[in-house]
A and B are shown apart, each in its own frame.
Chain A
């Protein structure tokens, strides 16, 4: 195939081409769920491509194992083909559709969102309170931004993101519904999401980063990121509960549940994304879609910005830097929330949906009887 033909083909067509080669080979069948899902099909239309692409965890094992990988003329590169389609999934299913354009230059989009978020909160702080550089006795955030203002702003932003992602994932599901969701399928999918089963490489040795060596570092960094994020979210939730249910106003003590959860989560959200960034830079050049590095790295940077500013805020909340750090932190969090349906964050939703689809599908009888037995 000439380079031009390759350029003209859509990402979905490339997945179809590659999967037809893989389906005749199947050597990679136990690396992950993509290949068993492939063997239940003979042809791969666009919805198949989107399903399989999001089932792919980009572990990279099948690239190094592939007898048809470049420089072979078949030029099979499953991780890259899948990555390219994933971005189309995020864009095609984005709601409202007009924002799908944000995936075209996602690095820029996230940078602008972050800058705008920070600017907004800096201006708000100045407007509401005057000078930024004044010590706040007891580190009281609400003296800078009233509690109700923050709840209203973030509640709205978060609700918007949730609605956007819910609509996107519902449309993704309907694209090719595998059948009714059973309890067993839901439990299996949850386990695969929470344990990142498919970053284990099928043998438990892990996935490929710089070369064909297997390593578990990506799963570990991703766990730190994911569970760090969950703890930070839990910290905010507990704090909200304290405020409304018990009437306990922030700031909370260093050993209080919100601060402990936020600190541990923040550290996870610092180390995890830093590690993922390092792996992203070091990745083998044939792995993944190079065009998506800005999207990946912007998202990682935003996570890092959130955790760094959050931890900085905790450390310096009794100093005159508090208001500035608070504005920085809230700006990052706001940017994170509003871009959730239009950033790399979307991978979490579609990956989960694909894993659930697969857990349902693999419990259905296989309609093919491909017998060379």
Chain B
């Protein structure tokens, strides 16, 4: 009989498979997607948040455990488990030599991401290169990898894994690691989770999924039905505002529009709805998805003028451009008089001091609601540019409750041969919010734990 069955094909699944194989177990990995789409959301990632006490190859200065923990505490608002968070943090300081051994290569933070040069180790070539390296290593070590193999059901007995069903195949194994992602690709589930708003709209109908189309949450749902302990709010997801022209799935990083703090954001009624200059963009980009989701038609328009060009990461799609504000309003099919009034009001309220996009500067509005508290400069230098934005879902927080052994729990009791890693359990550490690279830290830490524990469970199973 097979020792360890790993369900999923992203970073956490691969870490589990490699660790279990290195521990001497026979391992099979079932990836739902075809080979060319393998890797789940990991193919869109780019770095790993790493604790380190001194400069380390691509990482500058230090990022001690306590600071990492405080950052997590802050972004999650305390919605985390300290023991599992600290496990993740400590693992992030020691996992990179192992990652290198399996072919992952690191690079210093990319141009435009210097704010991450201390905290995040970037993967050379990004997450898909990392996934490729792990699959090569898995192949070399003799892990059996199956693509186009979505597991649709698990067979459990008294909280123990017995077998998995894929198509008309039934695969028995001594232990199992679940690492099949969240449910963000499941549009119907998202629709139900977000529900209907007061306007009678189903907001999720206008959502775009930034990552894979294969995270359908099939096993998450089955585990809920089987009575596994659940963590996280099903209506919550990491949601950023991305270019409205992005594809439904897999738009990834390039669909973001980083110009919001340099201009104003309007809704479908051509009115502003939030302080665009509240804080630095990397600290605020993740609130705009939800803000846009709350607007009519779930759409927002980022409006900038020529002063902003060359000051933010170039977006992937060209802007709508116009030589006057009324012309821009017409091109965007927004109410022209409201649009012009909103911009006039904003422009007149701007109190421009010394503009500096690298600090929280003194350019702000006076007597305007909502205010723009930094980087407020009149939008008056043609040509004018606009980007339509929609909510883009990165991942969902709903997951299986787990412990330091990455075990799935039923009624508070840990399963002794069913484990979970990656997005399916990230909510234990990251109950809400996000900070760059922490998803990969969780996936790597718990993938490796789950693989080790699954191999151990399989050895125990053999002994009996």
Contact = CB atoms under 8 A, between A and B. Distances in A.
A371 B314 CA distance: 10
Nearest to B310: A368
A67 B126 contact: yes
Interface in B141-184: none
A73 interface: yes
B60 interface: no
B79 interface: no
A67 B132 contact: no
A61 to B, nearest CB: 6
Contact of A27 (B114, B125, B258): B125
Given A25-B254, A26-B111, A370 B311 contact: yes
B112 interface: yes
In terms of DSSP, what is the predominant structure of the interface of chain A?
loop
B36 interface: yes
Given A67-B126, A203-B124, A370 B105 contact: no
A23 B111 CA distance: 10
B112 A373 contact: yes
B250 A31 contact: no
Nearest to B44: A67
A243 B296 CA distance: 88
A20 B314 CA distance: 8
Interface string B41-56: 0011010000000000
A71 B213 CA distance: 13
B126 A27 contact: yes
A2 interface: no
A372 to B, nearest CB: 5
Q: How large is the interface on A (under 10, 10 to 19, 20 to 34, 35 or more residues)?
A: 35 or more
Interface string A37-58: 0010010000000000000000
B247 interface: yes
Size category, B interface: 35 or more
Nearest to A372: B258
A372 B282 contact: yes
Interface of A: 20-21, 23-31, 36, 39, 42, 61-62, 64-68, 70-74, 202-203, 205, 212-213, 367-373
B126 A213 contact: no
Contacts of B113: 372-373
B110 interface: yes
Contacts of B64: none
Contacts of A213: 136
Given A372-B282, A373-B282, A24 B125 contact: no
Given A31-B124, A369-B310, A25 B112 contact: no
Interface in B261-302: 280-282
Contacts of B253: 24-25, 27
Contact of A371 (B37, B124, B311, B315): B311
A121 to B, nearest CB: 50
B405 interface: no
Pick the most buried of B129, B256, B315: most chain A CB atoms within 10 A of its CB.
B129
Contacts of A205: 105
Ranked nearest first, the 10 interchain pairs of A and B with the lowest CB-CB distance are: A27-B126, A65-B125, A24-B254, A65-B129, A30-B107, A24-B316, A203-B105, A212-B132, A373-B115, A39-B111
B96 to A, nearest CB: 14
A26 B110 contact: yes
A65 B132 contact: yes
A305 to B, nearest CB: 38
Contact of A24 (B46, B250, B313): B313
A61 B107 CA distance: 14
A29 B310 contact: no
B399 interface: no
Contacts of B258: 372
Given A20-B314, A67-B252, A26 B112 contact: yes
A68 B111 contact: no
23 contacts: A24-B313, A24-B315, A25-B126, A27-B110, A27-B126, A39-B111, A39-B112, A61-B129, A62-B125, A65-B125, A65-B129, A65-B132, A67-B44, A67-B252, A70-B36, A71-B36, A74-B247, A203-B105, A368-B310, A370-B111, A370-B311, A373-B282, A373-B358
A371 B107 contact: no
Contact of B313 (A31, A66, A370): A370
B128 interface: yes
B127 interface: yes
Contacts of A21: 254, 316
A62 to B, nearest CB: 7
B136 A36 contact: no
B357 interface: yes
Contacts of B254: 21, 24-25, 68
Contacts of A64: 125, 128-129, 132
A20 B110 contact: no
Interface string B80-110: 0000000000000000000000000101101
B128 A67 contact: yes
Contacts of A202: 105, 107, 124
Interface in B30-44: 36-37, 43-44
Contacts of B126: 25, 27-28, 65, 67
Contacts of B250: 67, 72
Contacts of B112: 26, 39, 370-373
B209 to A, nearest CB: 14
B130 to A, nearest CB: 9
A181 B254 CA distance: 35
A292 B374 CA distance: 54
B311 A373 contact: no
A26 B254 CA distance: 9
Contact of A42 (B37, B105, B125, B314): B314
B120 to A, nearest CB: 13
Contacts of A370: 111-112, 310-314
B116 to A, nearest CB: 9
A372 B111 contact: no
B314 A212 contact: no
A120 B255 CA distance: 60
Nearest to B282: A372
Most chain B CB within 10 A, of A66, A67, A373, is at A67
Contacts of B316: 20-21, 24-25
Contacts of B314: 20, 23-24, 42, 370
Nearest to B132: A212
